[in-house]
Structure 1
Amino acid sequence: MNFAAEFNALSGLLRDPDEETKAPAPGTVSRPNPGAIGPKELLNVKVPAVKPRVDPKEIWREDELVDPVDDDVDDGRETPSYEFLYKQAVDTADNFLGMSGKDNSSTSCEDLVVRIELPGAEGAAELDLDVKDTYLKLSSPRYKLSIHLPHKVDGERGKAKWDSAKKVLAITLRIIRDDPF
């Protein structure tokens, strides 16, 4: 027996006996496909939608996360240069005797100062500033800045000061310490 005859015999075994089929010409091989195997009623079966599996140990889902700085699209505006500075409230006892336990590191500082250089800005009126607890957004017709802050701050009680001579915006924000050292 040759391969074609064996293949035709096998397809005859897999074919539905109630189905009328035209017999292939002798010496030719039909081209079966996965849809031709089995009864035709199985082809119209509705498959239920798969529900996403929820892990009982997960803290959050990906769809719940919201990135507060969502305007990272380059729209042609320039990103200004900026730096983070720290302020610390000290008195003479701290300075000479070191009685409060403060050191000169950022962990002992009370305020975060964000200093942004805007040499092409006309004035403070054209600047749009939005400060939240963990990020800062600044936009103007020429500049755009969206940054995450290195410390959690009190975004409601910050102070911004515009220096028109130097074209510098200084934003002073109170650092919120959740876990004091």
Structure 2
Amino acid sequence: MDLDLDGISSVSSLQSLAKLLGDPPKDDEDDDDECGPHSSVSAMGPGNIGPVKKETAVAGPAQVKSENSKTIWSAEEVPEGSEYEDTWDPREQPEYEILFKQRVGTEDMFLGMSRKDASTACCEDMVIKIKLPETKFSDITLDLQDKVLDLRTPQKKLLLHLPHPVDSRNGKAHFHSEEEILEVTLRMTRELDFINFA
């Protein structure tokens, strides 16, 4: 249906358009008393967009208020590591690579006694190699969480969301000063590891 908006100029045309857009029908004598156009759009606001939500007054854990009334989000809604994100930080991101490492023995390599293969599902550790040229070991600040690695030096900054959750308390870091590479080894704690390593 094409509408020519240039031709809509009279009050009756606007009232017809309002009826077309969903205005409820009115009595004929009410139409005579009105001087201007009436539209249901004027009564709408941003809260009217989308399906109509019914308010239910249920007392319970859903309506528990936080201790700080100024908080906007609950702790579960904020992704881990978002406190480190700083878009205004001028430091550049260093080059890095993520490698996966698995522990194999002779029974795995030559006899094939376990179900291990070359896929990352059979790897126990994640190794992150970060190139930090012209950096001393004392200048490196490393903060590690289960899903986020945050590294900062005077020249570089790396906020890395890890592909798998890790055991952040038992990681190892080693700085190779000759190659200027920081090597971080982390044990992965995935959901189905008990099946892959059985």
Q: Structure 2 vs 1, CA of residues 54 and 150 (structure 1 numbering), >3 Å: closer, same or farther?
A: farther
Partner residue, 1:124: 137
State the one-letter code of the partner of 2:125: D
Q: Give 3-state SS (helix, strand or coil) of 1:90's partner.
A: coil
Aligned pairs (5 A) from 1:74-85: 74-85=88-99
Residue of 63, 76, 80 corresponding to 1:68: 80
Structure 2 counterparts to residues 94-113 of structure 1, below 5 A: 94-113=108-127
Q: Is the counterpart of residue 136 in structure 1 residue 146 in structure 2?
A: no
Per-residue deviation, 1:63: 2.7
Identical aligned residues as a percent: 39
CA gap of 1:137–1:55, structure 2 versus 1, over 3 A, is farther
Aligned length: 137
Mapped partners of 2:55, 2:99: distance in 1:
43
| Equivalent residues in 2 for 1:35-74, closer than 5 Å | 63-64=73-74, 65-70=77-82, 71-74=85-88
The alignment's TM-score, normalised by the length of structure 2, stands at: 0.60
Match of 1:148 in 2: 161
TM-score, scaled relative to structure 1: 0.65
In 2, Cα distance between equivalents of 1:148 and 1:55: 38
Structure 2 gaps, min length 5: 1-28, 39-52, 57-61, 63-71
Q: Distance in 2 between matches of 1:159 and 1:165?
A: 19
Q: Computing the radius of gyration over CA atoms, which structure comes out larger, 1 or 2?
A: 1
Q: Work out the CA distance in 2 between the residues paired with 1:142 and 1:166.
A: 17
Verify the 8 A CA contact 1:117 1:167 in the aligned structure 2: yes
Q: Distance in 2 between matches of 1:141 and 1:134?
A: 24
Residue 20 of structure 1: aligned partner:
none
Say if 1:72 and 1:146, in contact at 8 Å, map to a contact too: no
Q: From 150, 158, 164, give the equivalent of 2:171.
A: 158
Aligned mate of 1:91, from 105, 115, 129 = 105
Which deviates more from structure 2 when the two are superposed, residues 92-101 or residues 62-71?
A: 62-71
